Structure 1
Amino acid sequence: MTISIEYEAEKKLDLPYETIIRDVVEASLDYEKCPYEAEVNVILTDNEAIREINREQRQIDSATDVLSFPMVDYETPSDFDHVEEAVEDYFNPETGELMLGDIVISVEKVEEQAEKYGHSQTRELAFLVAHSMLHLCGYDHMEEEERLEMEERQRAILDTRGYTR
Protein backbone atom coordinates (compact mmCIF):
# COMPACT_ATOMS: atom_id res chain seq x y z
CA MET A 1 0.00 0.00 0.00
CA THR A 2 1.24 3.46 -0.86
CA ILE A 3 0.08 6.37 1.28
CA SER A 4 1.77 9.59 0.19
CA ILE A 5 1.55 12.42 2.68
CA GLU A 6 2.56 15.98 1.83
CA TYR A 7 2.60 18.65 4.53
CA GLU A 8 2.20 22.03 2.87
CA ALA A 9 0.89 24.15 5.75
CA GLU A 10 3.14 26.44 7.77
CA LYS A 11 1.22 25.65 10.96
CA LYS A 12 2.36 22.31 12.38
CA LEU A 13 0.01 19.90 14.08
CA ASP A 14 1.53 18.75 17.35
CA LEU A 15 0.59 15.11 16.88
CA PRO A 16 1.86 12.06 14.97
CA TYR A 17 -0.19 12.93 11.89
CA GLU A 18 1.53 10.48 9.54
CA THR A 19 0.83 7.56 11.88
CA ILE A 20 -2.81 8.62 12.32
CA ILE A 21 -3.37 9.05 8.58
CA ARG A 22 -1.80 5.68 7.71
CA ASP A 23 -3.72 3.94 10.48
CA VAL A 24 -7.10 5.32 9.39
CA VAL A 25 -6.48 4.73 5.67
CA GLU A 26 -5.66 1.09 6.43
CA ALA A 27 -8.62 0.72 8.80
CA SER A 28 -10.95 2.20 6.18
CA LEU A 29 -9.77 -0.13 3.44
CA ASP A 30 -10.04 -3.12 5.78
CA TYR A 31 -13.54 -2.10 6.85
CA GLU A 32 -14.64 -1.60 3.24
CA LYS A 33 -13.01 -4.90 2.25
CA CYS A 34 -10.92 -3.44 -0.56
CA PRO A 35 -9.38 -6.52 -2.21
CA TYR A 36 -6.40 -4.64 -3.68
CA GLU A 37 -3.28 -2.93 -2.52
CA ALA A 38 -4.19 0.72 -2.86
CA GLU A 39 -2.61 4.11 -3.40
CA VAL A 40 -3.88 7.21 -1.58
CA ASN A 41 -2.43 10.72 -1.62
CA VAL A 42 -2.99 13.05 1.34
CA ILE A 43 -2.14 16.74 1.41
CA LEU A 44 -2.22 18.71 4.65
CA THR A 45 -2.62 22.39 3.89
CA ASP A 46 -4.02 25.63 5.27
CA ASN A 47 -7.40 27.35 4.96
CA GLU A 48 -6.33 29.63 2.12
CA ALA A 49 -5.02 26.79 -0.06
CA ILE A 50 -8.05 24.56 0.53
CA ARG A 51 -10.31 27.55 -0.16
CA GLU A 52 -8.58 28.00 -3.53
CA ILE A 53 -8.98 24.31 -4.40
CA ASN A 54 -12.62 24.40 -3.28
CA ARG A 55 -13.23 27.44 -5.48
CA GLU A 56 -11.53 25.87 -8.52
CA GLN A 57 -13.01 22.40 -8.18
CA ARG A 58 -16.44 23.00 -6.65
CA GLN A 59 -17.10 26.70 -7.32
CA ILE A 60 -17.47 27.24 -3.56
CA ASP A 61 -15.40 30.22 -2.41
CA SER A 62 -14.75 29.23 1.19
CA ALA A 63 -12.37 27.14 3.24
CA THR A 64 -13.55 23.66 4.14
CA ASP A 65 -12.15 20.96 6.38
CA VAL A 66 -11.52 18.22 3.82
CA LEU A 67 -11.82 17.61 0.10
CA SER A 68 -11.87 14.21 -1.57
CA PHE A 69 -10.97 13.47 -5.15
CA PRO A 70 -11.89 9.86 -5.97
CA MET A 71 -10.27 8.26 -9.01
CA VAL A 72 -12.58 5.24 -9.17
CA ASP A 73 -16.12 5.42 -10.54
CA TYR A 74 -18.56 3.28 -8.55
CA GLU A 75 -22.08 2.16 -9.33
CA THR A 76 -22.34 0.91 -5.74
CA PRO A 77 -20.07 2.16 -2.94
CA SER A 78 -17.12 -0.13 -2.18
CA ASP A 79 -18.01 -2.45 -5.06
CA PHE A 80 -14.58 -3.06 -6.54
CA ASP A 81 -15.69 -5.84 -8.93
CA HIS A 82 -15.54 -3.66 -12.03
CA VAL A 83 -12.08 -2.14 -11.61
CA GLU A 84 -10.20 -4.98 -13.30
CA GLU A 85 -12.22 -4.31 -16.45
CA ALA A 86 -10.38 -0.98 -16.75
CA VAL A 87 -6.92 -1.72 -15.40
CA GLU A 88 -5.39 1.17 -17.36
CA ASP A 89 -7.82 3.63 -15.73
CA TYR A 90 -7.66 2.47 -12.13
CA PHE A 91 -4.29 0.83 -11.46
CA ASN A 92 -0.84 2.38 -11.26
CA PRO A 93 1.16 0.64 -14.01
CA GLU A 94 4.39 0.89 -11.99
CA THR A 95 3.10 -0.55 -8.70
CA GLY A 96 -0.05 -2.43 -9.69
CA GLU A 97 -1.91 -0.63 -6.90
CA LEU A 98 -5.49 0.61 -7.17
CA MET A 99 -5.34 4.42 -7.38
CA LEU A 100 -8.15 5.46 -5.02
CA GLY A 101 -7.57 9.20 -5.14
CA ASP A 102 -6.53 12.28 -3.22
CA ILE A 103 -7.46 13.78 0.14
CA VAL A 104 -6.82 17.42 1.05
CA ILE A 105 -7.14 18.45 4.71
CA SER A 106 -6.92 21.90 6.30
CA VAL A 107 -4.77 21.70 9.44
CA GLU A 108 -6.39 24.92 10.66
CA LYS A 109 -9.81 23.25 10.44
CA VAL A 110 -8.46 20.22 12.34
CA GLU A 111 -7.56 22.56 15.21
CA GLU A 112 -10.76 24.65 14.99
CA GLN A 113 -13.13 21.70 14.81
CA ALA A 114 -11.41 19.70 17.55
CA GLU A 115 -12.00 22.64 19.87
CA LYS A 116 -15.53 23.24 18.58
CA TYR A 117 -16.59 19.61 19.02
CA GLY A 118 -14.72 19.10 22.28
CA HIS A 119 -12.40 16.31 21.27
CA SER A 120 -8.72 15.91 20.47
CA GLN A 121 -7.00 17.02 17.28
CA THR A 122 -6.01 13.37 16.86
CA ARG A 123 -9.66 12.34 16.80
CA GLU A 124 -10.57 15.18 14.41
CA LEU A 125 -7.80 14.29 11.96
CA ALA A 126 -8.77 10.61 12.13
CA PHE A 127 -12.42 11.52 11.51
CA LEU A 128 -11.60 13.65 8.46
CA VAL A 129 -9.44 10.89 6.97
CA ALA A 130 -12.14 8.24 7.57
CA HIS A 131 -14.79 10.54 6.08
CA SER A 132 -12.68 11.21 3.02
CA MET A 133 -11.74 7.54 2.59
CA LEU A 134 -15.42 6.69 2.40
CA HIS A 135 -15.76 9.24 -0.40
CA LEU A 136 -12.81 7.58 -2.17
CA CYS A 137 -14.73 4.30 -1.85
CA GLY A 138 -17.82 5.78 -3.51
CA TYR A 139 -19.96 6.94 -0.58
CA ASP A 140 -21.69 10.29 -0.45
CA HIS A 141 -23.97 12.16 1.95
CA MET A 142 -26.26 14.18 -0.31
CA GLU A 143 -29.36 12.31 0.88
CA GLU A 144 -30.30 11.71 4.52
CA GLU A 145 -30.04 7.92 4.17
CA GLU A 146 -26.55 8.25 2.64
CA ARG A 147 -25.48 10.63 5.41
CA LEU A 148 -26.62 8.22 8.11
CA GLU A 149 -24.81 5.32 6.45
CA MET A 150 -21.59 7.34 6.16
CA GLU A 151 -21.83 8.41 9.80
CA GLU A 152 -22.24 4.80 10.93
CA ARG A 153 -19.32 3.62 8.81
CA GLN A 154 -17.09 6.49 10.02
CA ARG A 155 -17.88 5.65 13.63
CA ALA A 156 -17.20 1.95 13.06
CA ILE A 157 -13.88 2.61 11.30
CA LEU A 158 -12.71 4.98 14.05
CA ASP A 159 -13.87 2.59 16.80
CA THR A 160 -11.79 -0.25 15.33
CA ARG A 161 -8.64 1.81 16.00
CA GLY A 162 -9.72 3.53 19.21
CA TYR A 163 -10.32 7.04 17.84
CA THR A 164 -13.34 7.83 20.00
CA ARG A 165 -14.73 11.12 21.25
Structure 2
Amino acid sequence: MIFFVDNEVEASFSFDIEETAKKVAEAVLESENCPFDVQLSLLITDDEGIRQINSEFREIDSPTDVLSFPNISYETPGDFSAALGEQKIDVTDPESGLIVFGDIVINENRVRSQAKEFGHSELREFAFLIAHSMLHLCGYDHMEPDEAAVMEEKQEKVLQFLNITRD
Protein backbone atom coordinates (compact mmCIF):
# COMPACT_ATOMS: atom_id res chain seq x y z
CA MET A 1 0.00 0.00 0.00
CA ILE A 2 1.12 3.49 -0.81
CA PHE A 3 -0.47 6.23 1.29
CA PHE A 4 0.07 9.83 0.21
CA VAL A 5 -0.55 12.20 3.12
CA ASP A 6 -0.91 15.96 2.73
CA ASN A 7 -1.19 17.71 6.08
CA GLU A 8 -2.03 21.17 4.75
CA VAL A 9 -2.77 22.60 8.20
CA GLU A 10 0.27 21.02 9.87
CA ALA A 11 -2.00 19.20 12.32
CA SER A 12 -0.18 17.49 15.15
CA PHE A 13 -1.60 14.76 17.34
CA SER A 14 -0.17 12.51 20.04
CA PHE A 15 0.00 9.72 17.43
CA ASP A 16 1.61 9.43 14.01
CA ILE A 17 -1.03 10.42 11.44
CA GLU A 18 0.40 8.45 8.51
CA GLU A 19 1.20 5.32 10.53
CA THR A 20 -2.27 5.25 12.11
CA ALA A 21 -4.08 5.91 8.83
CA LYS A 22 -2.11 3.19 7.07
CA LYS A 23 -2.69 0.66 9.87
CA VAL A 24 -6.45 1.28 9.90
CA ALA A 25 -6.72 1.31 6.09
CA GLU A 26 -4.83 -1.98 5.84
CA ALA A 27 -7.09 -3.56 8.48
CA VAL A 28 -10.22 -2.48 6.58
CA LEU A 29 -8.85 -3.78 3.26
CA GLU A 30 -7.92 -7.09 4.92
CA SER A 31 -11.34 -7.40 6.57
CA GLU A 32 -12.96 -6.80 3.19
CA ASN A 33 -10.69 -9.33 1.46
CA CYS A 34 -9.46 -6.71 -0.99
CA PRO A 35 -7.54 -8.71 -3.61
CA PHE A 36 -5.01 -6.07 -4.64
CA ASP A 37 -2.47 -3.56 -3.41
CA VAL A 38 -3.70 0.02 -3.46
CA GLN A 39 -2.64 3.60 -3.27
CA LEU A 40 -4.65 6.14 -1.33
CA SER A 41 -4.43 9.81 -0.58
CA LEU A 42 -5.25 11.51 2.70
CA LEU A 43 -5.66 15.24 3.12
CA ILE A 44 -5.74 16.72 6.63
CA THR A 45 -7.43 20.11 6.57
CA ASP A 46 -9.54 22.42 8.74
CA ASP A 47 -13.17 23.62 8.79
CA GLU A 48 -12.67 26.06 5.92
CA GLY A 49 -10.71 23.61 3.76
CA ILE A 50 -13.26 20.81 4.10
CA ARG A 51 -16.15 23.27 3.69
CA GLN A 52 -14.73 24.35 0.32
CA ILE A 53 -14.29 20.75 -0.84
CA ASN A 54 -17.76 19.80 0.42
CA SER A 55 -19.25 22.77 -1.41
CA GLU A 56 -17.41 22.06 -4.65
CA PHE A 57 -18.00 18.32 -4.86
CA ARG A 58 -21.24 17.77 -2.92
CA GLU A 59 -22.84 21.21 -3.18
CA ILE A 60 -23.13 21.33 0.62
CA ASP A 61 -21.71 24.62 1.86
CA SER A 62 -20.71 23.56 5.37
CA PRO A 63 -17.82 21.83 7.09
CA THR A 64 -17.99 18.14 7.94
CA ASP A 65 -15.72 15.64 9.68
CA VAL A 66 -14.64 13.44 6.77
CA LEU A 67 -15.13 13.15 3.02
CA SER A 68 -14.50 10.07 0.92
CA PHE A 69 -13.96 9.99 -2.82
CA PRO A 70 -13.91 6.40 -4.10
CA ASN A 71 -12.23 5.73 -7.42
CA ILE A 72 -14.01 2.41 -8.01
CA SER A 73 -17.68 2.02 -8.92
CA TYR A 74 -19.29 -0.91 -7.09
CA GLU A 75 -22.36 -2.89 -7.97
CA THR A 76 -22.24 -4.46 -4.51
CA PRO A 77 -20.31 -3.07 -1.52
CA GLY A 78 -17.05 -4.90 -1.01
CA ASP A 79 -17.20 -6.60 -4.43
CA PHE A 80 -13.90 -5.64 -6.03
CA SER A 81 -14.50 -7.48 -9.30
CA ALA A 82 -15.19 -4.24 -11.22
CA ALA A 83 -11.67 -3.02 -10.44
CA LEU A 84 -10.30 -6.31 -11.69
CA GLY A 85 -12.43 -6.22 -14.83
CA GLU A 86 -13.61 -3.39 -17.05
CA GLN A 87 -12.48 -0.58 -14.71
CA LYS A 88 -8.95 -1.95 -14.21
CA ILE A 89 -7.25 0.23 -16.82
CA ASP A 90 -9.01 3.34 -15.50
CA VAL A 91 -8.13 2.76 -11.84
CA THR A 92 -4.55 1.51 -12.18
CA ASP A 93 -1.62 3.88 -11.73
CA PRO A 94 0.61 3.23 -14.75
CA GLU A 95 3.78 4.04 -12.77
CA SER A 96 3.18 1.96 -9.64
CA GLY A 97 0.80 -0.62 -11.09
CA LEU A 98 -1.33 -0.18 -7.97
CA ILE A 99 -5.07 0.39 -7.87
CA VAL A 100 -5.77 4.08 -7.17
CA PHE A 101 -8.38 3.37 -4.51
CA GLY A 102 -9.57 6.85 -3.61
CA ASP A 103 -9.13 9.97 -1.52
CA ILE A 104 -9.91 10.73 2.12
CA VAL A 105 -10.24 14.25 3.55
CA ILE A 106 -10.26 14.65 7.34
CA ASN A 107 -11.06 17.80 9.29
CA GLU A 108 -8.51 18.20 12.09
CA ASN A 109 -10.92 20.41 14.08
CA ARG A 110 -13.64 17.74 14.05
CA VAL A 111 -11.23 15.03 15.17
CA ARG A 112 -10.54 17.11 18.27
CA SER A 113 -14.09 18.30 18.96
CA GLN A 114 -15.78 14.94 18.32
CA ALA A 115 -13.25 13.14 20.52
CA LYS A 116 -14.26 15.48 23.35
CA GLU A 117 -17.96 15.22 22.51
CA PHE A 118 -17.92 11.40 22.48
CA GLY A 119 -15.57 11.11 25.45
CA HIS A 120 -12.74 9.22 23.79
CA SER A 121 -9.25 9.90 22.53
CA GLU A 122 -8.29 11.79 19.40
CA LEU A 123 -6.61 8.58 18.25
CA ARG A 124 -9.93 6.72 18.49
CA GLU A 125 -11.77 9.47 16.60
CA PHE A 126 -9.14 9.71 13.87
CA ALA A 127 -9.03 5.92 13.46
CA PHE A 128 -12.83 5.78 13.38
CA LEU A 129 -12.95 8.41 10.60
CA ILE A 130 -10.32 6.52 8.58
CA ALA A 131 -12.22 3.23 9.00
CA HIS A 132 -15.50 4.95 8.10
CA SER A 133 -14.00 6.54 5.01
CA MET A 134 -12.28 3.33 3.92
CA LEU A 135 -15.62 1.52 4.02
CA HIS A 136 -17.03 4.22 1.75
CA LEU A 137 -14.06 3.61 -0.57
CA CYS A 138 -15.08 -0.07 -0.52
CA GLY A 139 -18.57 0.85 -1.71
CA TYR A 140 -20.49 0.96 1.57
CA ASP A 141 -22.94 3.70 2.49
CA HIS A 142 -25.16 4.61 5.42
CA MET A 143 -28.14 6.34 3.83
CA GLU A 144 -30.55 3.61 4.98
CA PRO A 145 -30.72 2.20 8.52
CA ASP A 146 -29.69 -1.31 7.43
CA GLU A 147 -26.69 0.10 5.51
CA ALA A 148 -25.70 2.19 8.54
CA ALA A 149 -25.88 -0.88 10.79
CA VAL A 150 -23.55 -2.81 8.46
CA MET A 151 -21.03 0.05 8.39
CA GLU A 152 -21.15 0.53 12.15
CA GLU A 153 -20.52 -3.17 12.77
CA LYS A 154 -17.61 -3.27 10.30
CA GLN A 155 -16.03 -0.10 11.74
CA GLU A 156 -16.26 -1.42 15.27
CA LYS A 157 -14.76 -4.81 14.33
CA VAL A 158 -11.74 -3.14 12.71
CA LEU A 159 -11.15 -0.82 15.65
CA GLN A 160 -11.54 -3.69 18.13
CA PHE A 161 -9.10 -5.79 16.08
CA LEU A 162 -6.56 -2.94 16.27
CA ASN A 163 -7.34 -2.45 19.98
CA ILE A 164 -8.31 1.18 19.38
CA THR A 165 -11.14 1.28 21.85
CA ARG A 166 -13.12 3.97 23.56
CA ASP A 167 -11.15 5.26 26.55
TM-score when normalising by structure 2: 0.95
Spell out the pairing of 1:15-164 with structure 2 (5 A cutoff): 15-85=15-85, 86-164=87-165
Deviations 1:54-97 (Å, cap 9, x if unpaired)?
11111111110000000000000111112222321111111111
For structure 1, the residue ranges without an aligned partner over 5 or more in a row are none
Alpha-carbon contact 1:110-1:125 (below 8 Å) kept: yes
Paired AA for residue 132 in structure 1: S
1:138 alignment partner, SS class:
coil
TM-score when normalising by structure 1: 0.97
For structure 2, the residue ranges without an aligned partner over 5 or more in a row are none
How far apart are 1:52 and its partner, in Å? 0.6
Paired AA for residue 102 in structure 1: D
Alpha-carbon contact 1:13-1:107 (below 8 Å) kept: no
Q: CA RMSD in A?
A: 1.0
Query: Structure 1 residues 73, 123: closer, same or farther in 2, change over 3 A?
Result: same
Paired AA for residue 35 in structure 2: P
How many Å separate the matches in 2 of 1:103 and 1:82? 21
Flag as ranges the 4+ runs of structure 1 deviating above 6 A. none
Residue correspondences, number: 165
- When structure 1 is superposed on structure 2, of 80-89 and 67-76 the one drifting more is 80-89
